Structure formats: structure tokens, C-alpha cells
């Protein structure tokens, strides 16, 4: 079950554990420091969003809960340009074709916590 809000999530121990784990990732990976916001800058805020992640058999493997509200930024006000460091489909096709040509074994990897910059 995916809760609609924090109040609903706080009634389920699995979601409470998920929320704690998400917050502990920041501390464990040492990627977060509280600093004062610069003048004329509106910092990004976080939002609890409760979604189940499933494996190929549709079994729930993880509860995802914390996201950043990047959609509230306005180009020219909050940022000048943005980058999305993701693989293009052409690069994936070339990689898989080369792996098949060389008879390499390709493994799927699920990254639990990623900080892209």
C-alpha cells in the first residue's frame, strides 16, 4: 500500500523504517551540511512521496520516500543552465552491441542512493 501523506505513512512500520533510512543516508554518506541560504536564493525543499519499487516479479523490494522539489525553480531566477547527466539511448545500444559482439556478460545494477551533480 502506498500512503497518500505523512500521517498515513506514520501508521506503517515499513514506511517509518524507509523514512529513517532515507534520512540516515545523508548522515552516513556525509553529503549534507546545514548552511544559511545566500541572499536572493530560494533553496530547494524536500517532499515526502511514498512509492513502492518492484522487481521483475512485481514484488515490493523497497519503499521510496524522499524527493527534492526541483520543479519549483525558475530558469533565469534560480538557475542559468541545467545538466542531466544520464545515458542516451544510442550510447546504451552501442554498449550492448559491443558487449554482445565480445560475448561479455552484462549485469543490471540498482543504485539505492545516488547524488547527481
pTM recorded for the entire structure: 0.55
pLDDT of residue 105: 96
Confidence band (pLDDT; 50, 70, 90) for 93?
very high
99 in a domain, yes or no? no
pLDDT of residue 102: 97
105 in a domain, yes or no? no
Query: Which residue did the predictor score with more confidence, 98 or 17?
Result: 98
37 in a domain, yes or no? yes
* Cα distances (angstroms) measured from residue 5 to each of 16, 47, 52, 59, 99: 12, 10, 14, 22, 44
Are 49 and 94 contacting, i.e. CB atoms less than 8 angstroms apart?
no
89 in a domain, yes or no? no
32 in a domain, yes or no? yes
Confidence band (pLDDT; 50, 70, 90) for 37?
confident
66 lies in which domain range?
6-81
Are 45 and 69 contacting, i.e. CB atoms less than 8 angstroms apart?
yes
Amino acid at each position: 500500500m502506498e500512503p497518500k501523506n505523512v500521517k498515513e505513512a506514520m501508521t506503517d512500520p515499513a514506511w517509518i523504517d524507509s523514512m529513517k533510512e532515507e534520512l540516515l543516508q545523508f548522515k552516513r554518506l556525509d553529503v549534507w551540511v546545514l548552511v544559511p541560504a545566500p541572499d536572493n536564493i530560494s533553496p530547494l525543499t524536500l517532499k515526502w512521496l511514498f512509492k513502492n519499487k518492484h522487481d521483475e516479479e512485481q514484488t515490493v523490494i523497497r519503499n521510496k520516500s524522499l524527493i527534492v522539489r526541483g520543479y519549483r525553480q525558475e530558469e533565469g531566477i534560480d538557475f542559468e543552465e541545467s545538466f542531466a547527466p544520464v545515458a542516451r539511448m544510442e550510447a546504451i545500444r552501442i554498449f550492448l552491441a559491443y558487449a554482445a559482439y565480445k560475448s561479455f556478460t552484462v549485469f543490471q545494477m540498482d543504485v539505492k542512493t545516488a547524488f547527481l551533480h
